[in-house]
Structure 1
Amino acid sequence: MSKIVEDCRDPPYVNLTLPPAFGSAYVGETFSCTLCANNELAANSDRQVTSVRIGAEMQAPSGTTTLEVSPTDQQAAKVDPGGSLQKIVRFELREEGNHTLAVNLSYSETTVSNDQSASSGRVRTFRKLYQFVARPCLGVRTKVSNLPSGNSDDTESQAARYVLEAQLENFADGTIILETATLNPKLAFKSTSLNWDAKELDVHHSDKPKMAPRDVLQIAFLIEQQKDGPGKEVTKDGRTLLGNLDIQWMSVMGERGFLSTGWLTTKKK
C-alpha cells in the first residue's frame, strides 16, 4: 500500500483508511470494500474540511475499471472534526492474477477567521493503492461420453445422446456449499440433471453438497438431441457444441460465487 500526498509540507487533515487485510479473494466472487475518510482535525480547530470526494478504480490483468462508489449521493461532502465519510465499492472478480484497488481522495481545507469568514483555502488530494491476488475457488474438469439411442425406430435412432460428467474440486481455503449446477444446452439439445436436484424436490440449504478444502465432487447431466429441433452446431474440426455449465456456490460466511464454463463439446471425430 502506498500514499501520495499533493503537498507534503504539512500533514493532511483527512486520513483515508482501507482494511489492512480481508482474507482470500477468489474468481467468481464479488470483491467488496468499505472506504473511510476520517477528519482528524481537533474540535476547536480554525480549519474546515469540505468538498470531500472519494473515487476508486480496479486495476486487473486485463485492464482498469472505474468503480461505482456507493452511496452515490452527496459525493462532495462536508466532514466535521472527528467525523467520517464512508463509501462502499464492489467489483466482480472474473480473472486470476494480481489486482490493485486504487483510491483517490480530494478535499478542500479552509482556514476560518474569528468572525467565521473563510480567509484562505486550498485543495488537497492523495491516493492509496491496495494490492491483492485473485485465485480460483472451484476447479472444473469435464468429460463427454456418447450413449446409444434409447429407441430402435429408424427416425428416433438418429437422435444423439450424451452424458456429461464434471469433476469439481474446491481450491478455496474454507468450506463452500454448492447452490446450483446447471447445464445450459444448445438449442438442438435438452439436458436432464442427474445430481442432488434431479427429482426437483424442495432441497433445503442443509441438504446441498458441502465441499471442504480439496474435496472433489462428481456431477453429471444427460444430454439428448430434441426431436424436430434445430440442427446441431458443429465446429470446424467436427466437434458438436453441447452447451455450457453454470455453477453457483456460497461460503460458510455467506459470500456467493459464480462460475460459467466455455462451450462444452464432444470429442473430435
Structure 2
Amino acid sequence: MEPPKAPHSMSLKVLRLSRPTLLRQFPLPLPPKSSALSLNPGEALDLKPGEHDDQFILDPVLTLPPAFGSAYVGETFSCTLCANNELSEDDDRHVSTVRIEADMQSPSGTSALELMPADNDSLDPEVKPGGSLQKIVQFDLREEGSHTLAVNVSYSETTVTKDQAASSGRVRTFRKLYQFVARPCLSVRTKVSSAPSADSADHQKYIIEVQLENMADGTITLKKVTFNTKPTFRSASLNWDIAQSNMQHASCPIVAPRDVIQIAFVVDQRTDGPDREATKDGRIMLGQLSIQWWTEMGDSGFLSTGWLTTKRR
C-alpha cells in the first residue's frame, strides 16, 4: 500500500468580483483644530472596522463554489484567486516560490489568462504562515456554452529541523476547476427594409428595425445602441438618444426580464462615398449593430452583431 499523502500546506479560494464589493468608501475629513465640531470620520462608512451585518443580502466575501450557475455573454468574468498558506507559525514546514496559473476552457478552446498584478519574476516570493497570495483574472465572455476556470497552484515546501537545518525542498502542485455556463443576456432580432428616397432612383435609403429581449434573470439598463455603417452609408438614430441632439437629457431605458424593446435606425447612402460593398449573392452590406448595457449590479456588457445586409436582389 502507498503511504497516505501529507495534506497540502496551501489552499485556494476564488472570490467573484462585483461592483458592490469594489465600492469605494471615504471617511469624513477631519475638522480643523479650531473648529468646535466633533465629527467621527468613520460615520460616513457603511460598517465600522470589525463590524458585520448579518442581514445584508450580499456576503462581504463572495466565494465561488465548484459550480456556481451561469454568467452572461457580453460581460467580463472577473475573480480573485487567493492562495492561502494554511501552516501555523510553529510548523516545521516552510513554503516558498508560490506560483498561480489559470486558464479558461470555453467551447472554442482553451485560453491562458493573464494574472494581475503582473510580476517581473515568474515565481513569487515567500508567503508567510497565515498569509495569502492574491491575483485577479478577467475574461470576456463572447460565446455561449459551458466554461471551466482551471487554476493551478505550485509551491516549494521545505522542512526545517530543530537545529535549523533545512532539508531539500519538494515542489507540490494542485489543481481546481470551477464550472459555469455562459448564457445570452440579450436576444437580438433585426429587419431591414427599403424606404423611398426623394433624391433619385439610385439614392438608396433603408430602415433598420431591431427587437431586443432581455434574456437575463435581472433587470438591465441599455446604455448605448449604435449602428456602425460601411463608408458608403451613414445612419441616424430614431431612439431615446435622439433628444441629446437638442441638448436635452435622455434617460436610458430599463428592461425587465423577458421584456422587449423596439429600436430603429435610418441608413442613408452618401452621395460622395465609395462604392457599395456587396456579397456574392447580391446583398448590400450596410453595417453592424453595437449594444452596450449595465446589469442591475452595475456590471457593463457589450454585444456586436454580424454584418447586416439588404435583401437579395
Common fold, TM-score beyond 0.5? yes
What is the percent sequence identity of the aligned residues?
63
CA distance in 2, matches of 1:159, 1:199: 27
Q: Distance in 2 between matches of 1:242 and 1:8?
A: 66
Contact 2:69/2:181 (CA < 8 Å) preserved in 1? no
The answer as to whether partners of 2:243 and 2:249 remain within 8 angstroms in 1 is: no
Moved more, 100-109 or 17-26: 17-26
The structure-2 alpha-carbon separation of the partners of 1:31 and 1:203, relative to structure 1 and needing over 3 Å to count, comes to farther
Matched letter for residue 179 of structure 2:
Q
Give 2:128's match in structure 1, choosing from 62, 66, 80.
80
The whole-number CA distance in structure 2 between the counterparts of 1:146 and 1:64 is 43
- Structure 1 unaligned regions, length at least 5: 1-6
* CA–CA distance in structure 2, aligned partners of residues 197 and 82 of structure 1: 53
Matches of 2:161 and 2:103 in 1, distance apart? 38
What is residue 99 of structure 1 aligned with on the other side?
147
Whose relative contact order is higher, 1 or 2, with alpha carbons under 8 Å and at least 6 apart?
Answer: 1
155, 168, 172: which one aligns with 1:124: 172
Secondary structure of the structure 1 residue equivalent to 2:167: strand
Equivalent in 150, 156, 173 of residue 198 of structure 2 = 150
- Of 208, 217, 236 in structure 2, the residue corresponding to residue 192 of structure 1 is 236
Q: Which amino acid aligns with 1:231?
A: D
CA deviations over 1:204-263 (Å, ceiling 9, x no partner):
68x101101001000000000001211111112121110000000011211111000000
Contact map agreement 2:73 2:141 (CA 8 A) in 1? yes
In structure 2, list runs of 5 or more residues that go unmatched: 15-63
Residue in structure 2 matching 1:59, options 105, 114, 122: 105
Deviating runs (4+, > 6 A) in structure 1?
none
1:70 equivalenced with 2:116 (yes/no): yes
SS of residue paired to 1:82: coil
Matching of residue 164 in structure 1 with residue 208 in structure 2: yes
Greater share of strand: 1
Counterpart position of 1:210: 254
**Contact 2:188/2:212, CA 8 A, preserved across alignment:** yes
Q: How many residues align?
A: 258
Per the alignment, residue 4 of structure 1 pairs with none
Output the amino acid matched with 2:81. L
Task: Return the TM-score normalized by structure 1.
Answer: 0.91
TM-fit CA distance, 1:67? 0.3
Matched-pair contact (CA < 8 Å) for 1:29–1:257: yes
**Cα offsets for 1:40-98 (capped at 9, x unmatched):** 11111111110000000001000100000111126422111111111111100010001
TM normalised by structure 2 equals 0.79
Q: How many angstroms apart in 1 are the aligned matches of 2:167 and 2:274?
A: 76
For 1:118, what is the secondary structure of its paired residue?
A: coil
CA 229–8 in structure 1, closer or farther in 2 if over 3 Å, else same: farther
Residue 84 of structure 2 corresponds to 38
Q: Which amino acid aligns with 2:113?
A: L
**Is the contact between residue 177 and residue 251 of structure 1 (CA under 8 Å) also seen in structure 2?**
yes
Does residue 50 (structure 1) correspond to residue 96 (structure 2)? The answer is yes
**Corresponding residue SS for 1:24:** strand
The match for 2:10 among 6, 14, 17 is 14
Aligned pairs (5 A) from 1:136-147:
136-147=184-195
